[in-house]
Amino acid sequence: MIKPVTLRTLDVGADKQLPYMPISEENPCLGWRGIRITLDQPEIFLIQVRAMLRANAATGNLNILLPMVTSLDEVDEARRLIERAGREVEEMIGYEIPKPRIGIMLEVPSMVFMLPHLAKRVDFISVGTNDLTQYILAVDRNNTRVANIYDSLHPAMLRALAMIAREAEIHGIDLRLCGEMAGDPMCVAILIGLGYRHLSMNGRSVARVKYLLRRIDYAEAENLAQRSLEAQLATEVRHQVAAFMERRGMGGLIRGGL
């Protein structure tokens, strides 16, 4: 069986810079980045998508992921361009090609409230926890002066994640999650309880997360998640998770990070 492959369209700007495409802005985190760039420069988008579709012609396992989506019209425009690229590839190679699945990075708070409408437009969503945390808390995670405020276990962030998981289940959206939270055992214990089942993390985190998942069950994780959602402070959440892990002999996974 051919495994699905997910390719993200050009995702530059803010902390992701290209040496041959310098972008200088006063507030880059809220500026020209992700899908905003490629919709402003559609030829860049079309070149990349045509390459994806040509590679997918023989396998049919492509997922296209759109970064930094802020509004539904960006999704609609991106879909139109992907359809155009598909027609151009078919004309080029002379036969019909498989249609890719299309999803978005959910990393802008505005899209949390648009999930019922997104369900009609995309095949999957991937929650980008790094940027979503940054925008919910209004904190530049790369700014050392305020880095201590940036915390993915902030109760507001957890409630947003719970809302996303609930809406995705109601509307039948394929749900994934990526970012630092996906590889942090302290966060994963809560994420599983919130209903997240597909986590994307760097290779260094896989062993620790697998170790955790083998030692907890869904009911325990759901109970932990519910208690975390009732917390008022991130420190409360961290102490709850730490106690949960210690009772199960897994304190070593998180003790160094407290």
- Domain count along the chain: 2
* Residue 28 or 14, more confident: 28
pLDDT above 90 covers a percentage of the chain that reads 83
Same domain for 253 and 127?
yes
For residue 109, pLDDT beyond 90: yes
Same domain for 93 and 132?
no
First to last CA, the chain: 42
pLDDT at 258: 41
Angle of the 72-93 helix axis to the 42-56 helix axis, nearest 10: 50
For residue 187, pLDDT beyond 90: yes
pLDDT at 257: 46
pLDDT at 193: 98
Same domain for 75 and 111?
no
The C-alpha atoms of residue 70 and residue 105 are separated, in whole angstroms, by 10
Same domain for 46 and 151?
no
Last residue of a domain, one of 74, 105, 136: 105
* Long-range own/partner contacts, residues 83-89 (CB < 8 A, 24 or more apart): 84/46, 85/46, 85/49, 85/50, 85/53, 86/53, 88/46, 88/50, 89/50, 89/53, 89/54, 89/57
Last residue of a domain, one of 57, 89, 105: 105
Same domain for 183 and 193?
yes
The pLDDT tens digits of the residues spanning 154-177 come to: 999 999 999 999 999 999 999 999
Cα separation values, 150 from 12, 122, 140, 146, Å: 22, 30, 8, 7
The pLDDT tens digits of the residues spanning 192-241 come to: 999 999 999 999 999 999 999 999 999 999 999 999 999 999 999 999 99
What is the pLDDT of the chain when averaged over all its residues? 92
Residue 83 lies in domain:
1-105
- Closest by CA position to 52, among listed 73, 19, 78: 78
User: Which CATH number characterizes residue 241's domain?
Assistant: 3.20.20.60
The pLDDT tens digits of the residues spanning 113-137 come to: 999 999 999 999 999 999 999 999 9
Last residue of a domain, one of 105, 124, 159: 105
The pLDDT tens digits of the residues spanning 71-102 come to: 999 999 999 999 999 999 999 999 999 999 99
